[in-house]
């Protein structure tokens, strides 16, 4: 048995009950990275625990890959991929661009996914065939827009500081070609791409839980998401998402010049 939208929404509700009450309250933060700053809050851990508990009760035969707790059954046919708060830096800064990511894989491929933003009341869901938006202004199917020229494109990345070595040079070569670029929206950039508001997202060093929910959302909205070398993105790494294959190909040609 596979999950349905109602179950994804139930997982999001469980996470929301842990994250939203802690948002803009000065929630306790710890640093996971020695020699740097990789924050985690009590909301991250509590939200992932709430999601895991419901999955383990309903689908005990499924595996779980998450950011804050130990992985379970990664050799199983069906695996949940969880990032309880994607954009923790935004969360602890009071910026409403964070989200809860809940992805689902079958046979190693991401097939369903949800981005939930509790503060704005928006959800972006890929049901296995199509992508959907629901929020204060109703519910509708969403699709990427068919931008084909970099000179017409809007590009997002979380920050230019995420790129290391020659990655920044390669990224900036694309950035110089686009009409508009913006920074700082984490997973929300992918929601905007799936909804047809932006055209490109380019990032580096993502983990599997950073992209697991995003892959089906982009693909089922008509877009394309790969690694910088054109491979499948389930394992994370350097990621490029585009609203059209033509635009993806043009950006890739610059990234790999």
Segment 122-164, tens digit of pLDDT: 999 999 999 999 999 999 999 999 999 999 999 999 999 999 9
**Against a cut of 0.85, is the pTM above it?**
yes
> What is the C-alpha separation between 249 and 224, in angstroms, rounded?
10
- Looking at per-residue confidence, does 25 or 153 come out higher? 153
Whether 93 contacts 83, CB under 8 Å: no
Furthest-apart CA atoms within the chain: distance in Å: 50
CATH 3.40.190.80 fits domain 150-255: yes
Whether 115 contacts 187, CB under 8 Å: yes
> What is the C-alpha separation between 245 and 223, in angstroms, rounded?
7
Question: Do the bridges between strand 224-227 and strand 200-206 make them parallel or antiparallel, or are there none, so unpaired?
Answer: unpaired
> What is the C-alpha separation between 76 and 90, in angstroms, rounded?
33
Residue 251: pLDDT over 80:
yes
Domain limits, the chain: 5-142, 150-255
Segment 83-95, tens digit of pLDDT: 999 998 899 889 9
5-142 in CATH: which number?
3.30.540.10
Query: Helix, strand or coil for residue 50?
Result: helix
Residue 212: pLDDT over 90:
yes
CA angle 55, 60, 65 (to 5 degrees): 60
> What is the C-alpha separation between 114 and 5, in angstroms, rounded?
9
Phi/psi at 161 (nearest 5 deg)? -75, -10
Average confidence (pLDDT) over 35-53: 81
Average confidence (pLDDT) over 183-203: 97
Segment 159-187, tens digit of pLDDT: 999 999 999 999 999 999 999 999 999 99
Q: What is the DSSP letter of 178?
A: S
Whether 19 contacts 84, CB under 8 Å: yes
pLDDT at residue 37, rounded to an integer: 44
> What is the C-alpha separation between 162 and 69, in angstroms, rounded?
24
> What is the C-alpha separation between 115 and 12, in angstroms, rounded?
9
């Amino acid at each position: 048995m596979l999950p349905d939208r109602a179950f994804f929404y139930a997982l999001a509700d469980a996470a929301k009950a842990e994250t939203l009450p802690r948002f803009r309250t000065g929630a306790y933060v710890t640093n996971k990275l020695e020699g740097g700053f990789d924050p985690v809050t009590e909301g991250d851990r509590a939200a992932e625990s709430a999601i895991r508990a419901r999955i383990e009760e309903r689908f005990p035969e499924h595996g779980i890959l998450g950011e804050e707790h130990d992985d379970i059954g990664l050799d199983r046919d069906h695996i949940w991929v969880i990032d309880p708060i994607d954009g923790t830096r935004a969360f602890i800064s009071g910026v409403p661009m964070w989200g809860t990511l809940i992805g689902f894989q079958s046979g190693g491929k991401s097939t369903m996914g949800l981005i939930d933003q509790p503060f704005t009341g928006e959800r972006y869901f890929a049901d296995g065939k199509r992508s959907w938006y629901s929020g204060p202004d109703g519910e509708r199917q969403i699709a990427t827009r068919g931008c084909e020229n970099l000179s017409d494109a809007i590009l997002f990345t979380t920050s230019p500081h995420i790129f290391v070595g020659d990655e920044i040079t390669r990224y900036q070569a694309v950035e110089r070609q686009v009409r508009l670029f913006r920074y700082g929206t984490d997973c929300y950039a992918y929601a905007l791409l799936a909804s047809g508001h932006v055209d490109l997202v380019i990032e580096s060093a993502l983990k599997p839980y950073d992209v697991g929910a995003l892959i089906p959302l982009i693909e089922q909205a008509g877009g394309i998401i790969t690694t910088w070398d054109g491979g499948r993105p389930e394992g994370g790494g350097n990621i490029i998402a585009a609203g059209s294959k033509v635009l993806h190909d043009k950006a890739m040609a610059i990234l790999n010049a």
